[in-house]
């Protein structure tokens, strides 16, 4: 196998994944983006950078987290499957990380880069507050000043995470522009960054944005797939048949998928949020969008015929974004990964099912992946293996779920 035949050698030198990705930013940001690219290249060559990253993942984040065989879920699905059907379902337990989701992996990596670039201030955008909490956490760990941009509507909806961020010493800035949700938080973070480029590092929370962000976020999150690969081989003596992960911007999914991209027998499903259904309000940019340019990259976007961005909807705030990381757009176009829409209602059902069957309350984002596994496992042979990324824990979502179920708390 030569490097050029590998699906793991993207992006190209100019930051493109096929026709996606790139660097669509204002000129003011270009020099900084180019510097970040240079610093990241150097860091990748520097064994002390990797050693420090790995040590923090071990001692601070709590890695490696387990790969857990979800026996009761597997058996429950087999009971409703034809004879000999019902694949084994394993869960990659990202929800056991410090701060309760995969987001921290990326934040540690980017904070190390910020320090390398001599920046003492970090900013981030957040929707549900998971990435905001993870960023505030590493800012405290590294002694950096931290500002979190969060849509005013989300500040209202996610009070516990807002308080967490404040406890961690971050300033939470409610964004009142536009639709007052994640995409507007990202706009305002970019506006702040452009005005403070000299001393501020932008910790982007997903595998999107201008090059080199999609690449470096993927690399930091690839620890998920590397661990899962080693663990499944230890347990089962072979690679899995299918990987499933939820896709907001796509960081946990690409982190799981990337180390397996060249393993032709490993299939992959990225789960998009279909909200109220693809004919109603949703957040499935691959199933319901088209190629366009937003937030520094060319990728699939929800937009109208004039290229105006339309509002996304998902019950899961972490999937409620009208775009997707550019590498996913590319993997979708070349057909390497299949993307499946899952609705709010399906995710809600799986949220409850996993809690009841396995004693694990998943994040609503992760519940989308569980719902997908529930659909696919019964069509696969009983000796086949699925690995689902349990990207986060669901404590943050209990109010939303109670509300959706009409339960008074």
Any idea what the Cα angle at residue 329 is, between residues 326 and 335, rounded to 5°?
Answer: 140
For another protein, the binding residues in 185-204 under the rule CB under 8 A are 187, 190-191, 194-195, 197-198
Question: Site for ligand PLP (CB under 6 A): which residue of 274, 391, 397, 401?
Answer: 391
Question: Which of 6, 9, 12, 26 contacts another protein by CB under 8 A?
Answer: 26
- Asked whether the beta carbons of 370 and 362 are under 8 A apart, the reply is yes
Q: Which residues carry out catalysis?
A: 103, 125, 391
Smallest distance from another protein to CB 186, Å: 8
Among 83, 234, 265, 306, binds another protein (CB under 8 A): 306
Find the binding residues for ligand PLP in span 359-378 (CB under 6 A): 363, 365-366
Q: How far is CA 368 from its chain centroid?
A: 13
Report how far residue 392's alpha carbon sits from residue 105's, in angstroms, rounded to the nearest whole number. Answer: 12
Q: Which does 173 bind (CB under 5 to 8 A by kind): ligand PLP, another protein, none?
A: none
User: In the β-sheet with 200-202, what is the strand arrangement from edge to edge?
Assistant: 171-175, 145-151, 121-126, 200-202
Interaction residues for ligand PLP, span 317-346 (CB under 6 A): 318-319
| Residues contacting 12, CB < 8 A, separation 6+ | none
Please report, as residue ranges, which positions from 278 to 297 form the binding site for another protein (by CB under 8 A).
292-296
Rounded to whole angstroms, the Cα distance separating 119 from 244 reads 36
> CB of 149 within 8 A of CB of 181?
no
The token duo for 327 is 């590498």
Which range binds ligand PLP by CB under 6 A, 29-37, 126-134, 230-238, 259-267? 126-134
- Among residues 124, 151, 127, 166, the alpha carbon closest in space to that of 323 is found at 127
| Number of residues this chain uses to bind another protein (CB under 8 A) | 36
DSSP H or E run through 353: helix 344-358
338-343 vs 296-301, strand pairing mode: unpaired
Please state the closest distance from residue 32 (CB atom) to another protein, in A: 7
Which residues does residue 149 pair with via DSSP β-bridges, in sequence order?
A: 125, 173
Q: With CB under 8 A as the contact rule, which of the stretches 180-188, 341-349, 362-370, 391-399 interacts with another protein? A: 180-188
Q: Which is nearer to another protein, 212 or 246 (CB)?
A: 212
**Least Cβ distance, residue 192 to another protein (angstroms):** 9
Nearest to 99 by CA among 142, 138, 52: 138
Pure H helices in 65-212? 71-79, 103-116, 130-142, 152-157, 159-167, 182-195
CA distances from 337 to 151, 270, 286, 301 (A): 31, 7, 12, 18
Contact between 249 and ligand PLP (CB under 6 A)?
Answer: yes
Query: According to CB under 6 A, which residues from 200 to 219 bind ligand PLP?
Result: 206
Q: Which 267-296 positions form the footprint of ligand PLP (CB under 6 A)?
A: none
Which uninterrupted H or E stretch holds 274? Answer: strand 267-275
The answer to the question of residue 250 lying near ligand PLP (CB under 6 A) is yes
What mask, x for binding ligand PLP by CB under 6 A, covers residues 75 to 104? --------------------------x-x-
Contacts with another protein, residue ranges (CB under 8 A) = 14, 22-32, 177-178, 183-184, 187, 190-191, 194-195, 197-198, 292-296, 298, 301, 303, 305-309
Contacts with ligand PLP, residue ranges (CB under 6 A) = 101, 103, 127-128, 130-131, 206, 246-253, 318-319, 363, 365-366, 391-392
């Amino acid at each position: 196998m030569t490097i050029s035949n590998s699906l793991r050698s993207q992006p190209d030198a100019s930051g493109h994944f096929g026709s996606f990705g790139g660097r669509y930013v204002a000129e003011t940001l270009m020099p900084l983006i180019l510097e970040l690219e240079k610093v990241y290249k150097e860091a990748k060559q520097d064994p002390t950078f990797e050693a420090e990253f790995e040590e923090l993942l071990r001692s601070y984040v709590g890695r490696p987290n387990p790969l857990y065989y979800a026996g009761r879920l597997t058996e429950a699905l087999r009971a409703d499957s034809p004879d000999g059907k019902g694949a084994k379902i394993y869960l990659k337990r990202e929800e056991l990380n410090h701060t309760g989701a995969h987001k921290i992996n990326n934040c540690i990596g980017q904070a190390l880069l910020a320090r390398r670039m001599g920046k003492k201030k970090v900013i981030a955008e957040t929707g549900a507050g998971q990435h905001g909490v993870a960023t505030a956490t590493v800012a405290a760990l590294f002694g950096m000043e931290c500002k979190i941009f969060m849509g005013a509507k989300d500040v209202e909806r996610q009070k516990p995470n807002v308080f967490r961020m404040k406890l961690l010493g971050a300033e939470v800035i409610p964004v009142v522009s536009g639709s007052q949700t994640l995409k507007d938080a990202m706009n305002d973070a970019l506006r702040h960054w452009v005005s403070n480029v000299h001393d501020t590092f932008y910790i982007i929370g997903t595998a999107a944005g201008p090059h080199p962000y999609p690449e470096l976020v993927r690399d930091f999150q690839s620890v998920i797939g590397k661990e899962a690969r080693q663990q499944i081989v230890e347990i089962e003596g072979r690679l899995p048949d299918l990987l499933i992960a939820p896709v907001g911007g796509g960081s946990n999914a690409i982190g799981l998928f990337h180390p397996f991209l060249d393993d032709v027998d490993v299939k992959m499903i990225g789960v998009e949020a279909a909200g109220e259904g693809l004919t109603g309000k949703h957040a499935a940019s691959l199933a319901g969008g088209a190629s366009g340019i937003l937030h520094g990259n060319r990728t699939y976007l929800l937009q109208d015929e004039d290229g105006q961005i339309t509002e996304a909807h998902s019950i899961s705030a972490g999937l409620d974004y009208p775009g997707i990381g550019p590498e996913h757009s590319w993997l979708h176009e070349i057909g390497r990964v299949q993307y499946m829409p899952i609705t709010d209602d399906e995710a809600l059902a799986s949220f409850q099912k996993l809690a009841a069957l396995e004693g694990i309350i998943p994040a609503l984002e992760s519940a989308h992946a569980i719902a997908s596994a529930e659909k696919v496992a019964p069509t696969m042979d009983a000796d086949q293996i699925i690995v689902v990324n349990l990207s986060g824990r669901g404590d943050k979502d209990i109010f939303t779920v109670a509300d959706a179920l009409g339960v008074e708390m």
